Structure 1
Amino acid sequence: MSENEALASAKTGSETVSLRHVMANTVALPQPQSKPTSRTGQMESTLSLWEAGPHTSTGVWECEPGEFTAVRDTCTEVCQILSGTATVHGDDGTSVHLAAGSLLVLPIGWRGTWVIHETIRKTYVLVGAATEPEPIAEPH
């Protein structure tokens, strides 16, 4: 196990469950692969840290500059940008510029395009259950 990774055990009832941890900004990622939805031939790499079914997982992802389409039909994605820059354009006409420190939510049903300007690295959480956000109460 590298210095960037550590597994610790936590006792839950009678079963042992392992905690998962990496230093997301420096952990070595697997060999990059072609991004299937790339319009420009990009390569991407994903380190899955934990999975709980086909549409619920978390990990670290990195992708080189270029453009690709994205569809969130089966899950909501929450991601924290660690490095790099990108612009994300929703098919609904919204756009947002991302840089280190950005926190982004792509709700289930979201569709759009990512334009990566500088190699981007993010942590992500994919949540398979479709949930509607609770309305935020207005302050009195």
Structure 2
Amino acid sequence: MTDRPECEGTHLRHADTAGIAMPAPTPKPTSRDDQMESAAGVWTGDSTQVGVWECGPGEFTADRRGNTEVCHIISGSGTVVGDDGVSAEIGPGSLLVLPKGWCGTWTVRETIRKSYVTIV
């Protein structure tokens, strides 16, 4: 029991992002190259989702008109290019913020694993 009753039932979530068991990959709907992807959810709240995602080499489009996504790249490499032409080379340690309204293309050179937070 805590001296802060408003905290009762609210539990810490923890995941080893590099070692988490990923579900079987499925086809990536927006892939231009028949890529496969997998995602393991860690936590879901009212307007927030947190998890780990992995995608193989190739190119896909992304649309963040409905939410903001914050990504931390754990492994792999690639390039992310917004429809506005702004690009980023990404690899282990990269932190990306794709604000609500962002649209663009990901080119995955080496299978990417990232942790993500999406906020509606």
Same fold by TM-score greater than 0.5: yes
SS at match of 1:16: coil
CA contact (8 A) 1:56 1:75 kept: no
2:28 maps to which residue?
A: 35
User: Structure 1: how far apart are the matches of 2:85 and 2:112?
Assistant: 22
Query: 9, 15, 29: which is aligned to 1:22?
Result: 15
SS at match of 1:118: strand
SS at match of 1:22: coil
User: Structure 1: how far apart are the matches of 2:16 and 2:96?
Assistant: 20
Identity %: 53
Q: Aligned residue pairs: how many? A: 118
User: Structure 1: how far apart are the matches of 2:54 and 2:20?
Assistant: 11
Q: What's the TM-score once normalised by structure 1's chain length?
A: 0.80
CA contact (8 A) 1:74 1:109 kept: yes
1:58 maps to which residue?
A: 50
1:68 maps to which residue?
A: 60
1:111 maps to which residue?
A: 103
Q: How far is the alpha carbon of 1:45 from its aligned partner?
A: 0.4
User: Structure 2: how far apart are the matches of 1:109 and 1:48?
Assistant: 23
Which structure 2 segments of 5+ residues have no match? none
Q: How far is the alpha carbon of 1:17 from its aligned partner?
A: 2.1
Which structure 1 segments of 5+ residues have no match? 1-9, 129-140
User: Structure 2: how far apart are the matches of 1:19 and 1:60?
Assistant: 17
Q: What's the TM-score once normalised by structure 2's chain length?
A: 0.92
Letter of the 1:40 partner, please give it.
Answer: D
CA RMSD of aligned residues (A): 1.5
Letter of the 2:71 partner, please give it.
Answer: C
Answer with 1 or 2: which has the greater Rg. Answer: 1
CA contact (8 A) 1:57 1:126 kept: yes
Q: How far is the alpha carbon of 1:20 from its aligned partner?
A: 1.2
Q: How far is the alpha carbon of 1:18 from its aligned partner?
A: 2.3
